[in-house]
Amino acid sequence: MSILVTGGAGFIGSNFVLDWLAQSDEPVINLDKLTYAGNRENLQSLNGDPRHVFVQGDIGDSALVADLLAKHQPRAIVNFAAESHVDRSIHGPEDFIQTNIVGTFRLLEAVRAYWGGLQSDARQSFRFLHVSTDEVYGSLGKDDPAFTEAHRYEPNSPYSASKAASDHLVRAYHHTYGLPVLTTNCSNNYGPYHFPEKLIPLMIVNALAGKPLPVYGDGQQIRDWLYVKDHCSAIRRVLDAGHIGEVYNIGGWNEKPNLEIVHTVCALLDELRPRADGKPYKEQITYVADRPGHDRRYAIDARKLESELGWKPAETFETGISKTVQWYLDNQAWVSNVQSGTYREWLEKNYTGRNA
Ligand code: NAD
Ligand code: TYD
């Protein structure tokens, strides 16, 4: 038995693979294109481990996926592969359409053919778990109730629209062809191996480098934060016990405005790695022009997952963010290795001349 994980060299995917193999000897076939966001260094501790088979390739490469399925006969697929950064989707949506929509479609087609050819037992126990986001539900007002699984889809960025399209395809493959799918929609993750283009790792890395901490707009946009390892445990739980065709929201009940997040990161760094001049890191905060179409608030109602499948996060925001800041302090080599030329080009494109 084995599982096929796509996008397993990215932030959440690599945490998932590491956690999976820390708890089980069931092999993982890891298919990842290694875009700018994919990093084999995240999986370095698995070098030489026969339980981890890494394949560099695209979920949209139908022949490659068909070959992998035929060769390894996985009992499940967990689909993390995606373009995942909203700001990049604003600058260039094409890759998001190609991977998140066309790629997911091709993956589903290859999986449908493979699943259709399985023996009855294997066919029944097979699962396709699609990893999605709360951003497909759109933006909430200050006093609106949190997103349930029944909330209508109202995606507002090219990223969330492409993820919404992929969710719809997954749903359609269940209703039309009977493919045994599960979909999870999770809130914002943070933790180890998070690429420093996203809010929390960008703030840690910039703070330590003495650079400005760019807060978009008024910094009062609210996100609901979940420690990445809790997302991974929720996915494992849904894979084990989720009901076919169902959607599960995953969240940590941790709504926070962005400015509060940045202040928390600064305060932790003040304590753990004080600035040489003794001043607080929050002096580096700079307000920059807002993101176009910026969603004001996300909040996840995770009661279905908690009550039906008995899942609970292990970390509070306070414990998770301390671990995260400490991880970045302990892994400065990883941080400097991801700051390639293309990373610097991205910072240039997104932040230069972006005055409030
Ligand atoms: P990431 O950008 O860090 O990693 C994505 C990975 O997918 C990379 O390793 C990349 O090389 C790979 N990839 C991209 N295109 C591919 C393709 N065509 N074929 C194969 N591999 C490809 O993303 P992440 O933050 O780890 O997110 C993983 C999944 O979780 C995504 O589907 C995302 O929408 C979803 N999600 C993310 C968050 C979050 O806060 N990061 C929250 C909820 C859901
Ligand atoms: P991000 O980490 O990009 O995740 P998402 O847009 O998918 O929620 O951003 C989290 C929040 O932080 C979002 O409201 C945008 C904001 N933000 C900043 O204020 N400054 C930044 O430099 C970045 C990258 C994000």
Residue 262 lies in a domain: no
Q: Which domain, by its residues, includes 111? A: 3-193+226-254+295-315
* Rounded Cα gap, residues 86 and 285, in angstroms: 21
Within a domain: 209: no
Residue 260 lies inside a defined structural domain of this protein: no
d(CA 346, CA 341): 9
Global pTM? 0.99
**Interval between CA 13 and ligand 1 midpoint (Å):** 7
Taking the centre of ligand 2 as the mean of its atom positions, its distance from the CA of residue 199, in whole angstroms, is: 5
Residue 150 lies in a domain: yes
Q: Which of 17, 35, 95, 224 to mutate to test the pocket of ligand 1 (most atoms within 8 A of CB)?
A: 35
pLDDT for the residue 99: 98
- The stretches of 126-181 forming alpha helices (DSSP H) are 158-177
Number of domains in the chain: 1
User: Region 6-25: what's the mean pLDDT?
Assistant: 98
The stretch 342-347 carries a mean pLDDT of 97
Shortest-distance ligand to the CA of residue 291: 2
Q: Tell me: the pLDDT tens digits for 285-334?
A: 999 999 999 999 999 999 999 999 999 999 999 999 999 999 999 999 99
Flag whether pLDDT at 6 surpasses 90: yes
Let me know if residue 50 belongs to a domain. yes
Please give the distance, rounded to the nearest whole angstrom, from the Cα atom of residue 56 to the centre of ligand 2.
29
- Give the domain CATH number at 98: 3.40.50.720
- List residues with catalytic annotation: 134-135, 159
pLDDT digits 0-9 by tens, 104-120 = 999 999 999 999 999 99
Share of the chain above pLDDT 70, in %: 100
Residues 223-264 have pLDDT tens digits of 999 999 999 999 999 999 999 999 999 999 999 999 999 999
Our answer on whether the CB atom of 215 is closer than 6 Å to any ligand 2 atom is: yes
Q: How large is the average pLDDT for residues 82-95? A: 98
- What residues contact residue 298 under an 8 Å CB cut-off, 6+ apart? 134, 135, 137, 139, 140, 147, 187, 188, 222, 223, 224
310 alpha carbon – ligand 2 mean position (Å)? 30
- Confidence band of 355 (pLDDT split at 50, 70, 90): confident
Structure confidence at residue 356 (pLDDT): 79
The ligand whose atoms approach the alpha carbon of 133 most closely is 1
Residue 339 within a domain: no
Looking at the CA of 198, which ligand is closest? 2
CA atoms of 296 and 138, how far apart (whole Å)? 9
